[in-house]
Structure 1
Amino acid sequence: MRWRMLAVSGVALAVAPLVAACGSDGGTEINVYYAPEEHFQSVIDQCNQKADGRYEIVYRKLPRDADGQREQMVRRLAAADSDLDILGLDVTWVPEFAEAKWLEEWTGSNKSEAEDGVLEGPLKTAMWNDKLYAATKNTNVQLLWYDDSVTPQPPQTWSEIITTAKRLKSEGKPYRVVFTGAQYEGLVVTYNTMVASYGGHILSDDGKKVVMDQGAVDALKLLKEVTTQGITDPSLTNTQEQQVQQAFEAKDSEAAFELNWPYVYTAMQTGNPERAKHFKWARYPGIDGPGKVTIGGYNLAVSAYSQHKPEAFEAALCLRSAESQRYSAINDGVPPTIESVYDAGDADFIKAYPMWQTILDELQDAAVRPLTVVYQNLSTVTSKVLSPPQDIDPKSTADELRDQLQKALDSKGVLP
């Protein structure tokens, strides 16, 4: 799910021992480097059964934070490490890794299978320069979460949220609007969604020039307005996804609205069972109606240095098949990228994933973050300029973003 957190030390990662390419029985190992996901090993086990001994997929867990994941893979790929076969890439990393020639292009039947039935937005995140460099494993979009005992009908626009929150505050009821406001990618995701909802652009479509049009400026005005009305959490500038989740779950929560990823639904069932009875969802707010929400998620790429590319492509396709995506959606709460998995006739899917239709509606009208090889620089610059959001001056902040983002775009090479 995303614009990611800032750099985390990876010294220990740099000296991690290399992984053998063959198992103890002499069979071929296909190493998949992927973020921690609770039930991903079960998906791997199912795919290993289908491989029937021709190869064995081995789960090499990356660090939990996105910057740590990226840093470990960047270091090893820069050293042409052939032990990396399948790479779990945040949706923002494909251009950077492809431009560095670290990824094998998907062609022929592999490409056709990887593209088959995939929603347009998620598929864009797996491409660079009109070529496919990854297969979509899961996508993600934030929803508006609310307590229907406090607000029976959810607001559809930011204007309605602000008005409703102020009214609830005057009535002594939970009223706060909680979202990611810390100086990291989460803040920029919020801003990017506001820009897209205004129909604006931060970069040109080819990702080579800074645009910062009127929609981008209007989004700055909105972000400042939301954070200066006395309706956000006092710790806004320190909140990331988990803190947002916990703020709504708390027994004495003053939050009425939460903007967050779908995983919070399952977390609420155990975090606050009483409030979970009233925990509802709706489409993310926009300007004149529902917003255009920024896509998150993960893609699976095959390393250019893999010594087992045919097996790696086959394994990756299995790990992100419709069957695998359905299993992961039900058990790990990660939205599928294949449209057919969203099945109104699938009772188990609907029971475990009741918000599926709202997620699908958002995905069919979603926003993709700017695709550029210097994405990491853009994320860092934007989060710094936007923080703290209550200090935004729309005109001068827009000018500063234009200047700083263009400097980021003019840099060369893969970031360390």
Structure 2
Amino acid sequence: MDVCRLIVRRLNRAARRPVRISARHFVTLWRLLFLTSLGILTSSCRDPEPAGPLRLTWYVFDEPSGAFREAARRCTEAARERYRIDVVSLPADADQQREQLTRRLAAGDESIDIIGMDVIWTAEFAEAGWIREWPTRATRRASAGRFPIAVQTATYKNMLWATPFTTNVQLLWYRTDRIRKPPKTWDEMIELAEKLDRNNRIQAQGERYEGLTVLFVSLLASAGGKVLDADGSQVSLEPEPTRKALNVMKRLATSRAADPGLSTNREDQARLAFETGRSAFMLNYGFVWPSALQNAPEVAANMGWTRWPGVVPDRPSRVTVGGIDLAVSTYSRYPELAFDAAECLASKDNQRIAAERGGLPPTLYALYDHPAVRRRLPFADLLRATLKDAVERPRTPLYTDISLAISRTLHPMRDIKPARDAARLKKAVQRALRSEGLL
């Protein structure tokens, strides 16, 4: 480096000396040649790349238990100096996560290597060319032993684009000291709650956001319907299942057992309301269990869980699946290492840690028998049974538009008129599928 600095200093001094050539164009040519040679010399004298393993960045939501950072640490250690995984935390809100990622990916940001991808983004990201198809040689490892529904969320156009990491489904939570036998259908649940006093409400998600779409899709699937056809190109929304789903939403919202804040409630508002002790039922994810243990032990002591209610008697419910898949960015400078790292992050041990520390259900079927997972998730058998029958939200690159069409059409739920809104909803989804009328 001392020799390089000496050369640069002498060239700089030479550049300041006057050039006595009368022809102006020769002066310009000489300076151009001189500056070119100077650039070549100085570029060769730049500081070398820092020593140590290559750095891979994992963009994923800010998981509060530290399970994701522990997974990154373990995989970095296992890589033996080949790479280091740095976690870049995204917001907790899924819409904000998507906004940040799509802006970066649309700009070709090379700083993103591994993406913690919400299960509803696969089609959109794959169609946009933002993620890489999973290597054929590693496809079997990426899907082996996982719930079929989890693998489906990572699949688009019969190709695998990610490895399933965590999953999730809602359950029905209820007060065992007030309800002798948990209901099997929505009608049974609403009737039971209405027989009790106003301190025994039903907590659900009714705000105009993704949670409302999740509620509708789960009700529709439980009634035997679906939003789009099998290949995602045409609207389905069969009249009878659609009306049944809308009837349930209307009945819930207008019941005296409904929470007064239903139209503005999300998952966390439902959790907090249930923890006050003034509710008999709650539709929500498993995170509510450790929260109740910590924040409302008197509620947790009388807290039971059962399968999400059905819509049609003698037909089990089919609930919308959630979770995180791990994909590799198209713009990663080190794709082979990124695939290796993503596979490590989604390994059995790291899924166990995510379940044990963060309460995030695994995608690997066998982990539901692991003692540590069962201690953290005492409802593991119910989760596993529910995941066997779970459904995806519409698998399409236009999913965000379709979700907006659903939530805007059906909010607030108390204003739903099933016969009218079944037709309105189908028209709104058709327009969204054509990217029309979104603003």
TM-score normalised by length of structure 1:
0.90
Q: Distance in 1 between matches of 2:260 and 2:236?
A: 33
Q: Does 1:245 align with 2:281?
A: no
Over alpha carbons, which structure has the higher Rg?
Answer: 2
Q: Distance in 1 between matches of 2:335 and 2:325?
A: 17
Q: 2:383 aligns with which of 359, 365, 378?
A: 359
The residue number in structure 2 matching 1:58 is 86
1:72 Cα deviation after fit? 1.1
Q: Distance in 2 between matches of 1:364 and 1:23?
A: 49
Q: How does 1:373-412 map to 2 (within 5 A)?
A: 373-411=397-435
Q: 2:349 aligns with which of 302, 318, 323?
A: 323
The residue number in structure 2 matching 1:132 is 160
Secondary structure in structure 1 of the residue aligned to 2:251: helix
Q: Distance in 2 between matches of 1:27 and 1:347?
A: 36
Secondary structure in structure 2 of the residue aligned to 1:124: helix
Which consecutive unaligned segments of at least 5 residues does structure 1 have? 1-21
Q: 2:210 aligns with which of 175, 185, 207?
A: 185
The residue number in structure 1 matching 2:332 is 306
Q: Distance in 1 between matches of 2:404 and 2:428?
A: 10
Contact 2:174–2:304 (CA<8 Å) still a contact in 1? yes
1:409 Cα deviation after fit? 0.5
Q: Distance in 1 between matches of 2:98 and 2:248?
A: 32
1:111 Cα deviation after fit? 1.1
1:403 Cα deviation after fit? 1.1
1:136 Cα deviation after fit? 0.6
User: Could you give the per-residue CA deviations for residues 175-232 of structure 1, whole angstroms, max 9, x where no partner exists?
Assistant: 2111001111111111111100011122111111111102122111111112212111
Contact 2:174–2:305 (CA<8 Å) still a contact in 1? yes
Secondary structure in structure 1 of the residue aligned to 2:391: coil
Contact 2:401–2:435 (CA<8 Å) still a contact in 1? no
Q: Does 1:163 align with 2:191?
A: yes
Q: What residue identity is the alignment partner of 1:46? A: R
User: Could you give the per-residue CA deviations for residues 323-343 of structure 1, whole angstroms, max 9, x where no partner exists?
Assistant: 111110111011111111111
Contact 1:94–1:128 (CA<8 Å) still a contact in 2? yes
User: Could you give the per-residue CA deviations for residues 233-291 of structure 1, whole angstroms, max 9, x where no partner exists?
Assistant: 001001001000000001xx321000000011011011101111111111100022541
Q: What residue identity is the alignment partner of 2:196? A: L
Contact 1:23–1:29 (CA<8 Å) still a contact in 2? no
The residue number in structure 2 matching 1:334 is 360
The residue number in structure 2 matching 1:101 is 129
Higher normalized contact order (CA 8 Å, seq sep 6+, divided by chain length): 1
Q: Does 1:222 align with 2:251?
A: no
Q: Distance in 1 between matches of 2:330 and 2:51?
A: 26
Q: What residue identity is the alignment partner of 1:203? A: L
Contact 1:88–1:301 (CA<8 Å) still a contact in 2? yes
Q: Distance in 2 between matches of 1:395 and 1:163?
A: 23
Runs of 4+ residues over 6 Å off in structure 1: none
Identity of aligned residues (%): 38
The residue number in structure 2 matching 1:205 is 230
The residue number in structure 2 matching 1:85 is 113
Q: What residue identity is the alignment partner of 1:55? A: Y
Which consecutive unaligned segments of at least 5 residues does structure 2 have? 1-47
Q: What residue identity is the alignment partner of 1:367? A: V
Q: How does 1:5-44 map to 2 (within 5 A)?
A: 25-38=51-64, 39=66, 40-44=68-72
Q: 1:371 aligns with which of 395, 398, 411?
A: 395
Q: What residue identity is the alignment partner of 1:122? A: A
Q: Distance in 2 between matches of 1:352 and 1:201?
A: 33
1:153 Cα deviation after fit? 2.0
Q: How does 1:281-292 map to 2 (within 5 A)?
A: 281-287=305-311, 288-289=313-314, 290-292=316-318
1:411 Cα deviation after fit? 2.3
1:398 Cα deviation after fit? 1.2
TM-score normalised by length of structure 2:
0.85
The residue number in structure 2 matching 1:150 is 178
Q: Distance in 1 between matches of 2:387 and 2:50?
A: 43
Contact 2:147–2:388 (CA<8 Å) still a contact in 1? yes
Q: Distance in 1 between matches of 2:183 and 2:200?
A: 13
1:23 Cα deviation after fit? 9.1
Contact 1:282–1:358 (CA<8 Å) still a contact in 2? yes
Q: Distance in 1 between matches of 2:425 and 2:51?
A: 56
The residue number in structure 2 matching 1:8 is none
Q: Distance in 2 between matches of 1:88 and 1:349?
A: 22
Q: Distance in 1 between matches of 2:74 and 2:52?
A: 21
Secondary structure in structure 2 of the residue aligned to 1:145: strand
User: Could you give the per-residue CA deviations for residues 96-120 of structure 1, whole angstroms, max 9, x where no partner exists?
Assistant: 0000011100122321110111111
Q: 1:76 aligns with which of 99, 104, 128?
A: 104
Contact 1:30–1:85 (CA<8 Å) still a contact in 2? yes
User: Could you give the per-residue CA deviations for residues 319-375 of structure 1, whole angstroms, max 9, x where no partner exists?
Assistant: 1111111110111011111111111xx322211110100000000011111101011
Q: Does 1:260 align with 2:284?
A: yes
Secondary structure in structure 2 of the residue aligned to 1:342: helix
Q: Distance in 2 between matches of 1:57 and 1:300?
A: 14
Q: Distance in 2 between matches of 1:398 and 1:216?
A: 6
1:92 Cα deviation after fit? 0.5
Secondary structure in structure 1 of the residue aligned to 2:196: helix
Provide closer, same or farther for how the CA distance between residues 231 and 49 of structure 1 changes in structure 2, counting only shifts above 3 A: same
Contact 1:118–1:337 (CA<8 Å) still a contact in 2? yes
Instruction: Give me the CA root mean square deviation.
Output: 1.7
Q: Distance in 1 between matches of 2:97 and 2:193?
A: 38
1:24 Cα deviation after fit? 5.5
How many residue pairs get aligned? The number is 386
